[in-house]
Structure 1
Amino acid sequence: MNDTVFSKRLSIEQVEEGQDLAPKFDQDGLLVAVTTDAASGDVLMVGYMNAEALRRTIETGEAHYWSRSRKVLWHKGASSGLVQKVVDLRIDDDQDAVWLKVQVAGSGASCHVGYKSCFYRSVPLGQSVSPEIRLEFRESQKTFDPLEVYGDVPNPTQL
């Protein structure tokens, strides 16, 4: 599907100050999609949407994304039950990124690793960067077991 369901981009004023939805998909046909928890504001994940994913998200009120690795459209939560109900969908000033505020079904998790957020580790600041730098966990417990939900998890060397 192409992006002809959206308004054609005609001018900077139309895109930045107007009411037309005229998204600017990148060279791969994608928009960045930042997803946050509607209640807490926590960043849950960053994904990508093609025109079809954006259209389905708007029409259903549930988050759909484009998987760059699998090259498929996916309805978030279709296999895990952790569906993201969109409370608010915003687009940035030049319409090349979207922000989804969502309520997540079930345990409230959005990360396939089992944590609530895909941003469950911090990078320590104020030190020299080297192979010895160690990430610090900010979430202490997983909200679900990925093996129970998804079955076999891919070997990290396959990523």
Structure 2
Amino acid sequence: MKLLISCLFFLFASLGHAAETRFDSVYFFQEEEVLKEKQVNFQDFARFNRSVQSAVWKALKKVSMPASAGYLVVAVRADGKIAAWLDMQPALHEYYDAAVTEAVSKLRPFALSDGIVVFGMKMAVNTAVFTSKAKPQPKDWADAQKAAADPDDIEAIVQAAWPE
């Protein structure tokens, strides 16, 4: 009986330490007109967004980590490739950062006619407080932004920062 009670205690204790991941508003790097020109179906985008949230939740569900808040940035290319970057404070451990970005990159993308669609989603881990930053700026983009001919061209920046 003591063994059973001990096992139940450890089971419930381990469940209490799982990372609680929350998502909030979406930041679009491109104007609505640009997304329409790329023939983005917003219902398909909404389903994809929900799949992203689910994949991240699954990647972090058994993880114990300190509170962190920021953005998950996702880029979808017309060829169906997906890349993701985190802009979190404090930064997630590189192992969990890689787990999140890999989980997102394996999803089925929404369709677009050409180019790249880039958006960020506010994300909080183990805290109910979301970032106050108005716009995501992943650290991996800094060099790409400096190298870009137009530092405001999000597609050029993302293409230069794309993990190959």
Q: Same fold (TM over 0.5)?
A: no
Q: TM-score range by the shorter chain?
A: under 0.3
TM-score (norm 2): 0.23
TM-score (norm 1): 0.23
More helix by share: 2
* Higher relative contact order (Cα pairs below 8 Å, separated by 6+ residues): 2
More strand by share: 1
